[in-house]
Amino acid sequence: MFRIRKEFHFSASHQLSHLPEDHQCARLHGHNYIVVVELAAATLDENGFVRDYHDLKPLKTYIDDTFDHRHLNDVMDVPSTAENMAKHFYDWCKARWPETSAALVSETPKTWAEYRP
């Protein structure tokens, strides 16, 4: 199986107000997010690619227009946890690129959430 990954960055705020008051994520705060999308294929296309990285530019546009420097509580229908965001990005990508196999979201350099069906 061949796999490619591409990384995207954005900054945003959020608040998980359903958590106990003393939980740090219950307070309004922000992160510098990293989103990684993974695509996989058993065979390569005629150019030797799983998919041309340039084809993934619409994800950059979507992230910039919808998430960058925004309050995530205003743009997501579910709590803006890294886990829910990973699922959201996976679904968005899978609808466009059938080779999508996973999406990862990082809120900090030491924390990652992944959605892989």
CA-nearest of 35, 1, 12, 33 to 103 is: 35
C-beta separation of 4 from 50 below 8 A: yes
Catalytic residues: 25, 69, 107
CA-nearest of 50, 44, 43, 45 to 6 is: 50
